[in-house]
Amino acid sequence: MYATPEIIANVSGSKKTLPGILAAYEDLVLGEKLNSTTKDTLIFLDEIQVEQDWAETIKPYLDANPEKLTFVVTGSSRLSLMENSAETLPGRHLPYILLPLKFGDRLSFRHPELPDLRPVFLTAGGIRETLIESVKTGDVMPIYNQAARILLSLSKETQVTIAKELTVHLQEGGYPQIVLENEAGLKYEIFKTYISDISAKDLEHSRKPQLAQRLLLNLAKYNAQKMKESEIREETYRGQTGSPSTIQTYLDYLEQLAIIKRVYKNKSNKNIRQRKPKLYFADTGLRNSMLGYLEGDLSREELGLLAETVALDHLLRLLFKIRGHANNVYFHQHNDQDKEIDFVVRNQHDQVTMAIEVKYRETGVQDIGELRKLKAEKPDVLAIVLTKDFLKVENEKILYLPLWLFLLTA
């Protein structure tokens, strides 16, 4: 039996359709009551966000028959979806946040025919483990040696395919429907629907979806750059009076929904509220769709910002997989006049253990003076430069690693 609360709600006009759906399942499919069935029963409920008090509805069933019933509940990224389940089903729910596809997922989807890619995916976990060990010592050579072996194992054809697919990934991002769609016009329409849903549904506390959409558009212009909150507020309100706290509230919601990420400056005193964080979209395609960048050639500068965005997204996923959280990522700047190091990672003792600079270029990298300075001050820091296509080690201290290879670490 297939029925979603959204479909029935649209037909009936009711926002409480789940009891009827479950009763129909008992009568038409299961042939007995859910709260007393002896069969192992798995119930999928999609688009649950339209259902009022859904957690309260399923709780009695779980109370009565916890050994035989399992509910898999899916919906949009509305905060209440997680909040309601946590309050009503304490200790009985396992929340999962489904993020857009990683670059490795894209390659698997789009190019299952490449035979020499599978061994790379199988060794990706090994790269991760090597990275973990290197973070403890600051020694880049184990990572370099493993990366060199992977490069030697790939044919020229596969490397060209990876490079082309990475450019597409930087432009289109990782939403599954976008990855599988070939028509550019339809991709824009899909993203238009996503943005509308974020503004009108996911930001459920927002009573001004048009304001939220204008905010998203203005944020897209500052991707991978320091936020200028006064300019963003002025452009969003378009000369009308508006509260700064409203914009701040929207930013907080967007970050909780994993739409954006704010990265703050690496400072010794974390209790001081910092202004001008750097802003990143979690999905480059969502951002690019608002600016008309889903197709066509992009400037080297724009590609560099997108590469930085994708690198951060993967770094956060990697840290979450290793630590269970990804809270200690900052950008580093010795002085306000100096250039930045894109990302530094602090450990549980608040010590910088890894520094990453993204230089998505075809030629050699020259301007990494700040990274060299940090490595000289803190020799145990693992220093990595993410490049477009070349691998090397500088004085056995700084690793130059192709971005695509970093993105294939599990």
Mean pLDDT of 229-241: 81
Per residue in 38-79, pLDDT tens?
A: 999 999 888 777 777 888 888 999 999 999 999 888 876 555
Check whether residue 237 and residue 324 sit in a common domain: yes
Check whether residue 223 and residue 265 sit in a common domain: yes
pLDDT at 12: 53
pLDDT at 45: 85
Residue 198 falls inside a structural domain? yes
Mean pLDDT of 24-36: 90
Q: Is the pLDDT of residue 83 over 70?
A: no
> Three-state secondary structure along 120-166?
HHHHHHHHHHHHHHHHHHCCCHHHHHHHHHHHHHCCHHHHHHHHHHH
Nearest to 347 by CA among 324, 374, 329: 329
Residue 94 falls inside a structural domain? no
Nearest to 131 by CA among 384, 403, 395, 331: 384
* Local confidence band at 116 (pLDDT 50, 70, 90 cut-offs): confident
Calculate what percentage of the chain has a pLDDT beyond 90: 44
Find the range with the poorest average confidence among 4-18, 144-158, 263-277: 4-18
Residue 96 falls inside a structural domain? no
Per residue in 213-222, pLDDT tens?
A: 899 999 999 9
Mean pLDDT of 362-381: 85
Check whether residue 70 and residue 128 sit in a common domain: no
Per residue in 158-195, pLDDT tens?
A: 999 999 999 999 999 999 999 999 998 999 999 999 99
Mean pLDDT of 19-44: 90
Q: Which residue in the block uniquely carries the two structure tokens 């509220």? A: 273
Check whether residue 224 and residue 147 sit in a common domain: yes
Q: In 3-state terms, what secondary structure has residue 68?
A: coil
Distance CA 216, CA 338 (A): 30
Q: Is the pLDDT of residue 206 over 80?
A: no
Check whether residue 204 and residue 235 sit in a common domain: yes
**How many structural domains is the chain composed of?**
2
Task: Please say which residue of 59, 88, 117 terminates a domain.
Answer: 88
Residue 95 falls inside a structural domain? no
Check whether residue 120 and residue 83 sit in a common domain: no
Check whether residue 30 and residue 124 sit in a common domain: no
pLDDT at 120: 74
Residue 152 falls inside a structural domain? yes
Residue 217 falls inside a structural domain? yes
Per residue in 238-295, pLDDT tens?
A: 767 677 788 888 898 899 888 999 999 987 555 555 678 999 999 999 999 999 999 8
Distance CA 154, CA 120 (A): 9
CB atoms within 10 A of CB 359: 21
pLDDT at 181: 92
Q: Is the pLDDT of residue 11 over 60?
A: no
Check whether residue 108 and residue 30 sit in a common domain: no
pLDDT at 364: 62
| Contact criterion met (CB below 8 Å) for 296 and 347 | no
Check whether residue 142 and residue 40 sit in a common domain: no
| Contact criterion met (CB below 8 Å) for 301 and 295 | no
pTM: 0.86
Residue 81 falls inside a structural domain? yes
Check whether residue 51 and residue 187 sit in a common domain: no
Domain that holds residue 304: 104-407
Distance CA 45, CA 19 (A): 12
Residue 327 falls inside a structural domain? yes
pLDDT at 399: 95
Q: How far apart are the first and last CA of the chain?
A: 36
Check whether residue 55 and residue 17 sit in a common domain: yes
Task: Please say which residue of 37, 63, 88 terminates a domain.
Answer: 88
Q: Is the pLDDT of residue 336 over 60?
A: yes
Mean pLDDT in the chain? 85
Task: Please say which residue of 55, 88, 121 terminates a domain.
Answer: 88
Check whether residue 261 and residue 363 sit in a common domain: yes
Tokens of 88: 């009503």
